[in-house]
């Protein structure tokens, strides 16, 4: 089974990225043919600020979090230029209405990101990312389901005209994760400024966690946990007895949300400890990271070429 995911280098990686996507990818390694890339062209759609620095930072984070270049093909999107060629080819199989219905464009422009053409056509580039490598499974957060569906629609249109060239991808959402809330309770996203990042400084992390929006309930009163943003983040790091124990603390009353926030900061810090150590290694060996990425791009290109050749022949670009 071929599994593929991409992530935008548009800011610090956050716990939504980790639980919504990276963790699934790491777990799939070894059992599937895994492909992971840093979507730097995608990051340009929402400004591309500090792109070069964030690309390396994101790659370093990925390696620290367990993407293993011996088990996965791992590269930077712009190092396999064929994706832009496919993007253009697929654009001719993308009805305007399909893009006009995309939630992500509406959500992002509503948040003040300028409505430029690349933001609008971004699902087509994402379809190219997916289809170029014959991906069968795309692990994503709930917000990206529609984009995988768009890729399927485009692939169907293309295949109807040219035969069975493109592999039909399926999305895979980790049911218990779905959408991780941000500190304001909306979807956690780098572009919304509401994230809890994975690799922050300990004091800053706590400061961010303290800003999580919670209900106003008196200290002694029992508290709802299902709807609490702090609980909904903490549950990502807890299992079994520890999770039940936290629920009991909510139900018992006598503690404020501030106590739960401190607890969340602690469990999170502990959870990522080993990854922080790995990160330090890669941070100090950036040339090794670049080497890994170069090799990854070479491998990704080798996988892409047979498909791109078939497409060139089918569409008449080969002459």
Using CB under 6 A as the binding rule, whether residue 67 contacts ligand TRP is answered as no
Q: Whole-number minimum distance, CB 298 to ligand ADP, in Å?
A: 24
42 lines the binding site for ligand TRP (CB under 6 A): yes
Rounded Cα distance, 278 and 73, in Å: 19
Start-to-end C-alpha separation, the chain: 34
Q: Which stretch binds ligand ADP (CB under 6 A): 63-71, 74-82, 138-146, 238-246?
A: 138-146
Assess 235 for contact with ligand ADP (CB under 6 A): no
Q: Smallest distance from the beta carbon of 129 to ligand TRP, in angstroms?
A: 4
User: Among 25, 36, 38, 39, which residue interacts with ligand TRP (rule: CB under 6 A)?
Assistant: 39
Q: What are phi and psi of 32, to 5 degrees?
A: -135, 170
Indicate which of ligand TRP, ligand ADP, none lies near residue 16 (CB less than 5 to 8 Å, by partner kind): ligand ADP
Enumerate the β-bridge partners of residue 187: 181
Q: How far is CA 279 from the centre of its chain?
A: 18
> Cα(247)–Cα(231) distance, rounded to whole angstroms?
8
Interface mask toward ligand TRP for 142-161; x: CB under 6 A: --x--x--------------
Q: Which of 138, 228, 308, 311 binds ligand TRP (CB under 6 A)?
A: 138
Q: Within positions 18 to 77, which residues make up the interface with ligand ADP, using CB under 6 A?
A: 20-21
Structure tokens at 310: 């078939």
Name the helix (H) or strand (E) containing 9.
none
Q: Which does 20 bind (CB under 5 to 8 A by kind): ligand ADP, ligand TRP, none?
A: ligand ADP
Size of the site for ligand ADP (CB under 6 A): 19
Residue among 3, 316, 315, 317 nearest 159 (CA)? 315
DSSP strand pairing (137-139 vs 72-76):
unpaired
């Amino acid at each position: 089974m071929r599994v593929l995911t991409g992530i935008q280098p548009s800011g610090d990686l956050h716990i939504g990225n980790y639980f919504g996507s990276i963790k699934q990818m790491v777990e799939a390694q070894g059992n599937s043919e895994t492909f992971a890339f840093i979507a730097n062209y995608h990051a340009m759609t929402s400004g591309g600020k500090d792109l070069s620095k964030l690309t390396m930072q994101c790659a370093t984070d990925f390696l620290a979090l367990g993407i293993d270049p011996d088990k996965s093909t791992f590269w930077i999107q712009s190092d396999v230029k064929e994706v832009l060629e496919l993007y253009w080819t697929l654009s001719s199989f993308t009805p305007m209405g399909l893009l006009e219905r995309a939630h992500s464009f509406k959500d992002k422009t509503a948040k003040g990101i300028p409505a430029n053409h690349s933001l609008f056509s971004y699902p087509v580039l994402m379809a190219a990312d997916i289809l170029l490598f014959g991906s069968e499974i795309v692990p994503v957060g709930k917000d990206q389901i529609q984009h995988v569906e768009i890729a399927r629609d485009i692939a169907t249109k293309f295949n109807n005209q040219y035969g069975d060239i493109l592999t039909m991808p399926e999305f895979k959402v980790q049911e218990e994760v779905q959408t991780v809330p941000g500190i304001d309770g909306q979807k956690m996203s780098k572009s919304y400024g509401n994230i809890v990042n994975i690799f922050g400084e300990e004091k800053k992390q706590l400061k961010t966690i303290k800003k999580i929006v919670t209900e106003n309930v008196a200290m002694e009163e029992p508290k709802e946990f299902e709807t609490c943003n702090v609980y909904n983040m903490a549950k990502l790091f807890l299992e079994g007895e520890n999770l039940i124990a936290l629920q009991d603390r909510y139900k018992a009353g006598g503690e404020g949300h501030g106590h739960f926030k401190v607890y969340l900061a602690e469990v999170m810090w502990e959870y990522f400890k080993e990854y922080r150590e790995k990160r330090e290694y890669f941070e100090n060996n950036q040339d090794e990271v670049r080497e890994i990425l170069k090799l990854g791009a070479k491998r990704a290109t080798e996988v892409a070429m047979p498909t791109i050749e078939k497409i060139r022949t089918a569409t008449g670009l080969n002459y």
